[in-house]
Structure formats: C-alpha cells, structure tokens
Chain A
Amino acid sequence: MAAEREPPPLGDAKPTDFEELEDGEDLFTSTVSTLESSPSSPEPASLPAEDVSTNSNGPKPAEVVLDDDREDLFAEATEEVSLDSPEREPILSSEPSPAVTPVTPTTLIAPRIESKSMSAPVIFDRSREEIEEEANGDVFDIEIGVSDPEKVGDGMNAYMAYRVTTKTSLSMFSKSEFSVKRRFSDFLGLHSKLASKYLHVGYIVPPAPEKSIVGMTKVKVGKEDSSSTEFVEKRRAALERYLQRTVKHPTLLQDPDLRQFLESSELPRAVNTQALSGAGILRMVNKAADAVNKMTIKMNESDAWFEEKQQQFENLDQQLRKLHASVEALVCHRKELSANTAAFAKSAAMLGNSEDHTALSRALSQLAEVEEKIDQLHQEQAFADFYMFSELLSDYIRLIAAVKGVFDHRMKCWQKWEDAQITLLKKRETEAKMMVANKPDKIQQAKNEIREWEAKVQQGERDFEQISKTIRKEVGRFELIKYWEAFLPEAKAIA
C-alpha cells in the first residue's frame, strides 16, 4: 500500500524536493543532513543512519525514529505550505498522487520507509492528524487587531478596555467578523489557562505582555501626559502581537478557551492574575521552587538535538538581550537629540531676532525653522525605532524564556519518569525479598504495587516521548516564524 509506491514515479519530484528542503531553511540541521544523505544512499541503508542521529531516549528506537522522521517531514511540509512561497507549492501539488489527498504526505516518505514493516493504521492515524494541521496551515486566514484603548471607571478601580477585532474565514468560528471588549487581566487569564493546558505537554505558548504596576497606576490616576499615552500605546501593540502569535499556533487555535476569548461578549473575570493576589504569590513561590529544582536536576541528555538546541537558545537569548540593551540606548539618545535640537531651534530663532543685519537675521530664523522640522523628524524616528525594533526584541526575549520553560518541563517529565523507574526497581526488590522471606500476603501487595508502578513508568515514558516530539515540532515552527516576524518589521522600520 503505502510501501508499494516505488521511487521511479516520484523520481523527479523527490530529489528536487529534498534539494529544496536543503537549500531553503535548514531548520533541523541534524535531521536535514540525514535527509540529504538519503537520496544518494540506498533506502535500507539510510535508516540506520537516521537511527543514530535522531536517537531519542525511548526504549523503542526504530519506531520512534520513524515517527520522528515523518513528523519532521510533516512539520516541514506544513511549514512549506504556510510559507506561501510559490516555489514550495508546486512541489507538493506536483506529487503524482492518483490517490486522494490524504495519502499525499505519506507518499513523500514512502520511498524511505518501504523496507520497514509498519502497521498501516498507525501511519494513517498519524497522517490524518498531520493533515488536519496542514489543512489549517493552508487556510490560515485569521486576522486579529487590538485597538481603541478606552479608560473605563475611575480612580484605583479604573482599567483600560481594548477592542479585539477578529476577521476570519475559518469554519470553527460562528461569524466571520466580530469584536469584543477585553481588559488586560483578561489577556493574562487567557495566557495562564493556555499555559496550564499546553506547557507541560511541550507546546511553546507565546508569553503575554508583562504587568506594569507603575504604568497602570499612572493611567488610573488619570495623568494625561505623554508617558502614559505612550504606555497605553505600547501595551496595545504588545497585546496585538501576543494575540497574533497565539492564533498562528495551529493547536492553540483549536482551543475552546481561545475561541471563547475571541468571541463571547462577557468573560468571567480572571481574578487570579492580579499581582498581589494569593494566586500571584503562589505563582512566585512556584517559580522560585522551579529555579531551585532546575539547578538540582541533572539530566543525562542523550539526545544531541536537544542539547544543541538548548545551547543555541542560550546563545540567542544572550545576544538578543545585548541587542535589546543597545537599541534601548539608541532610542534614548535619539529622544535626547530631538529635545536638544528643539532647544537649539529656539535659541537660533532668538539670535535671528536680535541680529540687525536683515539678511543674516532671516537666514538665522530659517535655520531655526529647519531645525524644528528636523526635531520633529527625529522624534518620529525615535518612536518608530522604539515600537518596531525594541519591542520586538523584548518580545523575542520573552519568547525564548518560554522556550526555555518548555525545555525545563521536559526535564521535569524526564525526572518523573526516572523516579518512577527507580521506584519500580525498589518495588521489584521488595517483591524479591518477600518471595525469599515467604510472606504470601505481602507478596500480593508487593505485586500490586509493582503493577501500579510499572503503569506509571510506562506513562511517564510515554509522556516524555510525547513532550520531546512536540518540542521538536514547536522549535521548528518557532524558528520559522521568528524569521518572518523579524524580517518584516525591520524593513518597515528602516523605511
């Protein structure tokens, strides 16, 4: 069936396909290298190579490897589609697929797994899942805007309400255009719900903008100066970016909470996002405990991919932070420059006034005008710099923190699994001892416990596998999106 598809019909398409994959984004350097080698080497030989490179911690290397490979390919396929670049699409569509579309992705890797005996249902299950994602990727037609910040209420209970507008053609939403009013704590509530659901499974949940007590208090008190309007504008832009990132994630998009957030006009007030509430303090305690844990857990990273990625992210994080700091300095100086230019313009004007030589006087006052215009220009540029560049950078820094969080979760999962294994061993030992000591009832109890722990071990192992897989996929998506997001605002800012 799937294995019967021979290379020849796909002969021309396949090598070019892989070439495209190579030339394009080298998303997974380790896996791509194996992809490169596969067209050249004979099919069966390619598999052991993959075996080695994508060795995960699972006890069943062969199947898992295969899953990973296909997963990677599917991920890349999804990426290619959502990229919308014309060169990718013909590849997929030109696949000689007399069969129905669902089977197309399978044919991509069919040549490679032909010698493997796979249980067909597994393949189909997998592929259907992927296709669903791919289908979503194809029709990624959802636009979100956050606008119209309005101050509601008075005094310390005041808050800013933002209008969230959604335009979409996705079928799961009831209307194609709708808007609701939300406040900042609603966004935070959404994020915490999503995080609690998806973070420990390995999905990278985009982080929400930070709370700023100082800023909000100023707004509440009603100070109508430029810094508070700036703050509101900053926050609005950040919220918009946050929502856009969240909906780009195909799995998160399916989430009912997100849908409720976007659609329903009344949302239960997310109380536990308040800074000084009990939940807030609990979160802080948790964070501290996590930090301590991180230091004590020493994980044997036998998966080179993870180690490399983690290293990469560390480096990236550092560099982004540095860049961010320098950009902040730049923005600050530009603001200074504009202020100084304004001052100079004024004094040049005065000088022109007191000069009695008329031509010179006129020249000087014109100089003053020019300087004023320059000052305005500089101010604008400062704002552009600030909003586009600097905010984006801080977003990315936070995203990377989220990624690191995901990695940490993976470590915790592994830890749990390890613990489960150890306990299982101990239980087995106790059982052995019981057998030797010949105490029948204790033996029964021991046996029960053993079964229980075995189940846990298996569960832990499965969780771990799942999380590793998801993380890989996520990282792939993340890198890609990062590329696009970084590029566009840059270009706009420069212009």
Chain B
Amino acid sequence: MEGRQAGKESKQPSSVSVDLQGDSSLQVEISDAVSERDKVKFTVQTKSCLPHFTQLEFSVVRQHEEFIWLHDAYVENEEYAGLIIPPAPPRPDFEASREKLQKLGEGDSSITREEFAKMKQELEAEYLAIFKKTVAMHEVFLQRLAAHPTLRRDHNFFVFLEYGQDLSVRGKNRKELLGGYLRNIVKSADEALITRMSGLKEVDDFFEHERTFLLEYHTRIRDACLRADRVMYSHKCLADDYIPISAALNSLGVQEVNQLKMSFLKLAEFFERLRKLEGRVASDEDLKLSDMLRYYMRDSQAAKDLLYRRLRALADYENANKALDKARTRNREVRTAESHQQQCCQRFERLSDSAKQELMDFKSRRVISFRKNLIELAELELKHAKASTLLLWNTLLTLKGEP
C-alpha cells in the first residue's frame, strides 16, 4: 500500500515490503506527520467496511508513545502468545542531526558562506530523511497489524484507530523503563535455564531447527546491520568532504587569471556534482540495505520471542505433568493438577501450531522482502556508478581539451 496524500510530507513507498494479503476490508495508512520540537504527531487514517467501526473513513492523531502502548498491549495479551507480534517502531530520533545543526550554527569562521549554505542544506536533507523513515516505520507497524487475520481483530487496535481523543498514554517513566529492562534480563535468564533443563527436549524437529536457525540468524543480521550502518556513515562523510574541497577549488579558481582558472573552476563543479551523487548513493544504501536489515533484525527478535514463549509453555506443560504425577502419587489435589495440566497442554499445542504457521510466514516474508530490496539496491548502485563514470569522463575531456 503506497501512501499518497495531500499533506505536508510526500511519503516514499515503505522500503520494507510487507506482503499483505490484499484484504482491503481494513486499510490503514499514515497520511500526515508533523514534527513539533520533540514530538512527532502522526495522522492515522483508516478506511474500512468492517462493522466494528462507526464510519467508513476516519482519522486520528497519534504520537509515538501511543504506538508503543499498542504494541505492549499486544505483547502482554495471552491470546497472542502464539503469534509473532510485529516489532514496535523505533523512537523518532532527531538528536544526532539536531546536534550537528547546532554545531554548524555555532559558526566556524573558516568556512565560506556557500560552504555553510551547502552544509546546512545537507543537514536539512538528512533531517528530512530521518523524518520520512520514522513515518514509514510507524506505518508498516500498523499495516502489518491490519493485515494479520488475528491481530487485526483486537479491541485495543480498534480503540487506537478510532478513538478521537487523546489516549492519554504517557511515555514510560524511568521506573517502568527500568522494569522493562529487568524483565528482559529475567526473560533471557529464564530462557537459558529452560534450555539447559535436562528433562526438556524438543519434540518437534521443525522447532528445533528453527530455534538454532533463528538464534544464529539474529546475531548475524544484527552484525550486518551495524556494519551496513557504518558503511553508510562513511559514504556520507565522504560526500560531505567534497564540500570544502569544492569551495577551496572555487576560491583558487577565482584568484587565478589564466587557463588554470578554468581548470580549477571545472574541478570545483565536478566535485560538487560528485558530492551529490555520493550523497545519493549513501542514502539509497541506507534505505534499501540498512533499513531492511534493521527491520528484519527486529522481526527476528520478535520471532525469537515467540519461540521463547512456546518454550515457556512447554516448560510449564512439563512442570504441570510432573505436578500431576506427584499429585497422583500423593492422591491429593488431583483435580486441580489435572486441569492445570490440561490447560498447559492445550496452550502448548495451540502455541506450537500457530508458531509453526507464523514462522513459515516469517520466512516467506523475509525472502520476498530481501529479494525486492536487494534488486532495487543493485539497480540503484548501478545507476549511480554509471552516472559518476559519465561525470568523470566528461570532466576529464573538458580538462584535457582546454590547453
């Protein structure tokens, strides 16, 4: 679903392709986004013919914290324990670029006016890019929720989409954040414990395989994502470097009076164009490669979470079994133990089934998305490489043809 609207920001198609099953009974998109100092306000627009909603088309304004609230609501909901919950969108982070803008504004007397203007332009473009990315991330989150047959029926989701007024969800304060961290630690410790427990063995080969695969995959994709980020950053630095070079050559050229002048000016122009190309290369890489890797990193984390939940359920089941046996031997509280065991068994099985389905979905989704992005990346890189070769050739010819 491409987003197109008459709002302030023109959006780009989301780079992470989510294969939506073309079910148009619920369409969600972020039609507008406004950045106000610290916060970003998203306008979420919904078109739906489902009976739950009172209107056919409506929109609300939401902030990042409300997205997080929605995500957490899903995670904590026991019913969805067997599903991969789409990862929450990251916080809009303009810190880095704001810092740079400030540093630039503080003024470095050694750079000329043109240089300053160019750098400012670059920073503004960066800011804009970050902004667009965060909008896309939020949108993808909602769209995946809308596409999932189970998740879309959540009551909280409807509230999120429809409730006109502020959801009055405050951001997590420090205590809650800390609590969140602790919970994560506990969870990973728990996981480690469970896997080492002797009595527990994975009955299903599929899950065993998936587990090892996911663990490995997750670490590696995290690695790749980090490094891709660094590559993109270097590219950007490179592009930025061309600015002072071009400016210096320009001033040199202005000073000289002979043919050297023409050469210098031409060189200055060349560097300027090269810079734009390099900048574009960097941003494309960022979009296609880094973002995709990052998204799948988070997605694989979510898949891992799912597996963990299942494992937990399995452990519970085992425990319940043991408790049942113990109760049977003691012939006390057999009923409760039995029902408990039943419950656990059911839960476990339910989880296993849905997990299987989810994981296969995850895989196919991943393959498709990777394919699309890699193809686009290759095409773009090719295009840019050709353009820069052409530029180099032309400049060379002009420089040679002069004297």
1/0 contact trace for A331-367 toward B, CB 8 Å? 0011011001101100110110011110110011001
Mostly, the A contact residues are helix
The minimal Cβ–Cβ distance linking B352 to chain A, given in whole angstroms, is 20
Across the interface, which residues of B come within 8 angstroms of A326, CB to CB? 241, 244-245, 248
B259 contacts A322, CB within 8 Å?
Answer: no
Known contacts A322-B244, A337-B234, A340-B230; A360 and B370 CB within 8 A of each other: yes
Contact B400 A312 (CB under 8 A): no
Among the listed A322, A347, A490, which residue makes an inter-chain contact with B227, where contact means beta carbons less than 8 Å apart? A347
Known A355-B217, A357-B367, A486-B260; contact A330-B230, beta-carbon cutoff 8 A: no
A-contacting 9-mer, from B15-23, B34-42, B177-185, B218-226: B218-226
Bound Cα distance A103, B224 (Å): 76
Give A contacts to B, CB under 8 Å.
24-27, 29, 85, 312, 315-316, 319-320, 322-323, 325-327, 329-330, 333-334, 336-337, 340-341, 343-344, 347-348, 350-351, 354-357, 359-360, 363-364, 367, 482-483, 486-487, 490-491, 494-495
The number of chain B residues with a CB under 8 A from chain A is: 45
Q: Are B371 and A363 in contact (CB under 8 A)?
A: yes
Query: Does residue B323 face the partner (Cβ distance < 8 Å to A)?
Result: no
Closest 9 CB pairs of A and B: A337-B234, A323-B248, A326-B244, A344-B227, A347-B224, A330-B241, A340-B230, A347-B223, A333-B237
Contacts of B213 in A (CB 8 A): 354, 356
Q: Determine if B392 and A494 form an interchain contact, defined as CB atoms under 8 angstroms apart.
A: yes
Q: Which residue of A lies closest to B363 (CB)?
A: A357
Q: Are B255 and A319 in contact (CB under 8 A)?
A: yes
Q: Are B399 and A491 in contact (CB under 8 A)?
A: yes
- Asked whether, in the complex, the Cβ of B399 is within 8 Å of the Cβ of A348, the reply is no
Q: B60 contacts the other chain (Cβ, under 8 Å)?
A: no
Beyond A322-B248, A330-B238, A494-B395, whether A487 also contacts B263 by CB under 8 A is: yes
Q: How many Å lie between the Cα of A222 and that of B228 in the bound state?
A: 36
* 9 sample A-B contacts, Cβ–Cβ < 8 Å, listed by A number: A26-B258, A319-B248, A333-B234, A336-B234, A351-B221, A490-B267, A490-B399, A494-B392, A494-B399
Q: Which residues of B contact A315 (CB under 8 A)?
A: 255
Partner of B255, one of A316, A337, A490: A316
Docked complex Cα distance between A325 and B392 (Å): 23
Q: Is the CB of A491 within 8 A of B260?
A: no
Complex: how many Å from CA A437 to CA B82?
A: 124
Q: Which of B238-276 contact A (CB under 8 A)?
A: 238, 241-242, 244-245, 248-249, 251-252, 255, 257-260, 263, 267, 270
Chain B 17-68 interface residues, beta-carbon cutoff 8 Å to A: none
Contact of B400 among A29, A351, A491 (CB under 8 A): A491
CA distance A347 to B222 in the complex (A): 9
Kindly report which residue of chain A lies nearest to residue B221, judged by CB atoms.
A351
CA distance A54 to B395 in the complex (A): 39
> In the complex the two chains form, is A340's CB within 8 Å of B255's CB?
no
In the complex, residue of chain B having the shortest beta-carbon distance to the beta carbon of A327: B245
Indicate whether B216 reaches chain A with its CB closer than 8 angstroms.
Answer: yes
In the complex, residue of chain A having the shortest beta-carbon distance to the beta carbon of B402: A487
- With an 8 A cutoff between CB atoms, is B235 at the interface? yes
**Residue of B at shortest CB range from A319?**
B252
B227 to chain A: which residues have CB within 8 Å?
340, 343-344, 347
| B220 & A350 in contact (Cβ 8 Å cutoff) | yes
B173 within 8 A of A: no
CA distance A337 to B281 in the complex (A): 13
Listed residue (B213, B220, B242, B270) with the most chain A CB atoms within 10 angstroms of its CB: B220
Docked pose: A117 CA to B216 CA in angstroms? 96
Taken together as a complex, chains A and B put the C-alpha atoms of A334 and B374 apart, in Å, by 24
By beta carbon, the residue of chain A nearest B210 is: A356
- Bound CA–CA A360/B227 (angstroms): 20
Report yes or no: A347 in contact with B220, Cβ–Cβ below 8 A. Answer: yes
Known: A323-B248, A330-B238, A363-B371. Contact between A312 and B255, CB under 8 A?
Answer: yes
Report B366-403 CB contacts with A as 1/0, cut-off 8 Å: 11001100100000000000000000100110011001
Interface status of B110 (Cβ within 8 A of chain A): yes
Q: Given the interface contacts A337-B238, A360-B367, does A491 sit within 8 Å of B220 by beta carbon?
A: no
Partner of B224, one of A29, A322, A351, A359: A351
Chain B, residues 60-88, CB within 8 Å of chain A (1/0): the string is 00000000000000000000000000000
CB distance from A355 to the nearest CB of B (A): 7
B231 within 8 A of A: yes
Inter-chain CA distance A172–B181, complex, in Å, is 84
Beyond A322-B110, A336-B237, A340-B234, is A25–B259 a contact (Cβ under 8 Å)?
yes
Identify A323's interface contact among B252, B258, B270, CB under 8 A: B252
The CA-CA distance from A431 to B217 in the complex, in Å, is 102
In contact, B259 and A351 (Cβ under 8 angstroms): no
Given contacts A316-B255, A319-B248, A344-B228, contact A333 B221 (CB under 8 A): no
> Is A483 a contact of B371 with CB atoms below 8 Å?
no
Q: Which residue on A lies nearest to B251, using beta carbons?
A: A319
B360 → A minimal CB distance (Å): 11
Q: A359 vs B371: C-alpha distance in the bound complex, in angstroms? A: 9
Q: Evaluate contact between B223 and A350: CB separation under 8 angstroms.
A: yes
* Residue with the highest number of chain A CB atoms closer than 10 Å, among B221, B234, B363, B374: B234
**CA–CA, A24 and B248, complex, Å:** 25
A315 to B237, CA, bound (A): 28
Cβ distance A492 to chain B, nearest Cβ, rounded Å: 10
CA distance A344 to B252 in the complex (A): 38
Q: Which A residues are in CB contact (< 8 Å) with B245?
A: 323, 326-327, 330
B242 contact set on A, CB distance < 8 A:
330
- Give the contacts of B164-201 with A (CB-CB under 8 A): none
With a CB–CB cut-off of 8 A, which chain B residues contact A327?
245
Q: How far is the CA of A323 from the CA of B258 in the complex (A)?
A: 20
- Contact, CB under 8 Å: B371 / A360: yes
Bound complex: CA A482 to CA B216 (Å): 59
**Contact, CB under 8 Å: A344 / B244:** no
Task: Judge whether A344 and B267 touch: CB under 8 Å.
Answer: no
Residues of B within 8 A of A333 (CB): 234, 237-238, 241
B374, closest chain A residue (CB): A363
Beta-carbon contact of B231 and A341 below 8 Å? yes
For A323, what are the chain B residues with a Cβ–Cβ distance below 8 Å?
A: 245, 248-249, 252
| Contact between chains at A487 and B399 (CB < 8 Å) | yes
List, in ascending order, chain B residues with CB within 8 A of A350's CB.
220, 223-224
- Given A330-B242, A347-B224, A351-B223, 4 other A-B contacts at CB below 8 A? A337-B231, A340-B231, A354-B213, A357-B367
What separation, in Å, do the CA atoms of A301 and B260 have in the docked complex?
28
Task: Please name all residues of chain B whose beta carbon is closer than 8 Å to the beta carbon of A344 when the two chains form the complex.
Answer: 224, 227-228, 230-231
Give Cα A455–Cα B109 distance, bound, in whole angstroms: 52
CB distance from B370 to the nearest CB of A (A): 6
Determine how close the nearest CB of chain A comes to the CB of B271; give it in whole angstroms: 10
